[in-house]
A and B are shown apart, each in its own frame.
Chain A
Amino acid sequence: MAETMFWGFTLRFVQSLAQASPFILCGFLVAAILRRFFGYAETRRLFGGTGRRSLLRAWIIGMLLPVCSLGVIPVIREMRRAGLKGGTILAFAMAAPLFNPLSLLYGLTLSEPVAILSFAACSLVIVTIVGMTWDRMYPDSAGQVVELKPVSWGIRRMLAVGTSAAREASSVCLVYIGIGLGGVALLGALIPSGGLQHAFNSDNLLAPLLMSALAVPVYATPMLAMSQLGMMFQHANSIGAAFVLLALGAGMNLGLVTWMYRQYGLRRSLVWFILLEVVVLGLAYGVDQPLFPKDIEPANHTHAFDIYCQPFFRTPGGRVSLAALTLEKLKRDVFIYEWHSLRLLLLLIGAGSVLRLTDRRNRLERWIEIEVPQTESGRLDLVLPPPVIGCIWLAALVAISVVGCYAYYPTADEVLQEMYIARGEALSASLAGDKTHSSYWIDIYSEWSRKMEVGVYLRNWQLSDYHRWKARLLREQLEFLEHEVADEEQQEVRRLVAKIEQTHRRLKIAFTNEL
């Protein structure tokens, strides 16, 4: 039991860290850009200062930047140093992880795209109401500002971003990130395998309430939250709970809560939380019925939250140890780009730690801040002001995430090639009765069908109901297959495998000949 919990914790911690690492890296970069290129005065201007518009600006900037609820921590620390009001900072912290270009596109191709647009509008309502009320209650929430010296042009300016990011990566920020990851890992240690499958059914009136308790320790990247919403819509689970998952699961984590507590104290943090819970739950119960999918028969379960439960259904007997199983799962489930990001993150943390140990008096920063006379050798050799470069950096980040959409959601032809492999593995494993292998490949196969929809939508800016139905039918049948394999119903498995072959053929024709 204790061993299962330990390895469950370890696996979920490393999986979540790997998933979060690209977003955390992005967060460190954004924080360094704000610090070194914008400076505190310009950062305040960027976010609308202390005026009312600041909440809307925080929401818009948050929506554009590709960060998650862990990656947002270095950014809000920088916003706090810049003297922004607590409402604005917390509004940004809540809004930034909810959507990014990748996840918004994914959401728009769900069977109910209007639901995602409604969720986005609701998130603006949340940050506005909660932020304004909180700012009115505590108008003195802005911290004291110690202005930074501007950085001179050239190599110093380039180095400034790196050192700033490295120092932040080895700061207390890392503790907050660790706490955030610890929350989701604890869930993985404590909740029995599959223990959340029936908690969020559409007929459970308490589902949004229950989700509001679960969602805070949960950590979800924007993409993960969106795919969980997709699964909840597919199973016609509680839509209110789905909304709470997006608002609190993607928008919050225990690390952020700890940061809030340390910055604003227990009382103010509690007030924020109560306000947030009231608004989120009010909206959740409000949208539950209007957005409920009409054309789906509700299932009595969901698989969306299996990843927050113990990863091992039962202790493996005989020779296979949980440590080996954990390693195998990590090798299998963590994507290559996530490993690369994790290595880069560790490198940044390492560099920051070395810098802290070898340069305790910030001599490097003082050298960076030495004023250098501006020299321009020709008409085209311009020295751009730091905020301009900062804006270019931020715009580039947004542009990269938009371009990244085209790589993440390839063309239908490329997806069909990937699906060919996944189909072979999933169906042959199902016929062989290999539950683990079939479940793994069924999920991949199903995910590719979603990516195909998004890829087509991204390139044509439309996706017909006909194509949506073809992909949805495949996913539904794959879900049935997974259940039948789990129940060891061999005859049903054979029937479903034949049916899926047929559905795949139709999907292929629809996406190659009838777009």
Chain B
Amino acid sequence: MMWPFHYCRPGRFILCAAVIVGAVAGCAGSDNPESEDDHLEHFIPAHKPHSFEELVTELSERGTALRDGSVSADSTAVTELNDIIGWLPELAADSELRKSDWERAVVAGEKLQALWQERFGPRAAAAAAGGSAAPPADTGDRLAAAIDVLRSLVPASRTLPYGTGGGGEASADAAP
């Protein structure tokens, strides 16, 4: 019976492997990963609200300003508002909202997103530029209704559920 190590030439293989792996390591690795320029970062946009409560306030204020035309509906304003709506599930989860309330908040957010697209999305912009039909007149009311749903959930987002900690207000959550 042939002993297994008859088959391989370890020296040659190790040399080849070291060259291949060395080349890969040279291409992939950076020498000084922790230098100041190479800092490990998680990008948090400046317009990201700190809490669910702040998100609802932002939505309300920015939405009203856009709707009333007191702020121009340029792409940055609309994009930022879309971002804020996109953060709703995360910030609602990062609050004291219970599951059922969280689900209500997410549904309201989805409704808001759809209405917002109807009013300020690319199709609405194209229609406005072409002089065709404007969005339905009650879109503004429906937007306000969806924001009202979110506003109604704000107290619950601060209240500790199941009497944990005495059922009082979770003040730390509101802080940025």
What residues of chain A have their CB less than 8 Å away from a CB belonging to chain B?
Answer: 170-175, 179, 182-183, 186-187, 190-199, 210, 213-214, 216-217, 254, 258, 262, 294-295, 297-301, 309, 313, 356, 360-362, 464-466, 469-470, 473, 476, 479-480, 483, 486, 498-499, 502-503, 505-506, 509-510, 513-514
Contact = CB atoms under 8 A, between A and B. Distances in A.
B7 A262 contact: yes
Contacts of A294: 86
B86 A295 contact: yes
Given A192-B31, A295-B90, 19 more contacts: A175-B8, A186-B18, A191-B29, A197-B33, A199-B28, A210-B27, A213-B24, A217-B17, A217-B20, A294-B86, A300-B40, A356-B3, A464-B99, A483-B42, A486-B40, A502-B172, A502-B173, A513-B161, A513-B162
B38 interface: yes
B45 A194 contact: no
A347 to B, nearest CB: 18
A195 B30 contact: yes
A479 B21 contact: no
B102 A466 contact: yes
Contacts of A173: 4
Interface in B1-34: 1, 3-5, 7-8, 13-14, 17-18, 20-25, 27-34
**DSSP class of A's interface residues: helix, strand, loop or mixed?**
helix
7 closest A-B pairs by CB:
A195-B29, A469-B93, A194-B33, A190-B25, A191-B29, A172-B4, A186-B21
Contacts, number: 139
A297 B172 contact: no
Given A171-B4, A175-B7, A297-B42, A498 B21 contact: no
Given A172-B4, A175-B4, A175-B8, A213 B28 contact: yes
A504 to B, nearest CB: 12
Contacts of B30: 192, 195, 197-199
Given A198-B30, A298-B43, A299-B43, A187 B25 contact: yes
Nearest to B106: A465
Contact of A198 (B8, B33, B161): B33
11 contacts: A175-B8, A195-B28, A217-B17, A295-B89, A299-B41, A309-B29, A356-B1, A356-B3, A466-B99, A483-B42, A509-B162
B53 interface: no
A499 B89 CA distance: 18
A196 B161 contact: no
Contact of B22 (A190, A513, A514): A190
B17 A186 contact: yes
Contacts of B161: 509, 513
Nearest to A355: B1
B103 A466 contact: yes
B65 interface: no
A183 B21 contact: yes
B126 interface: no
A467 to B, nearest CB: 8
B170 interface: yes
Contacts of B29: 190-192, 195-196, 199, 309
A201 to B, nearest CB: 11
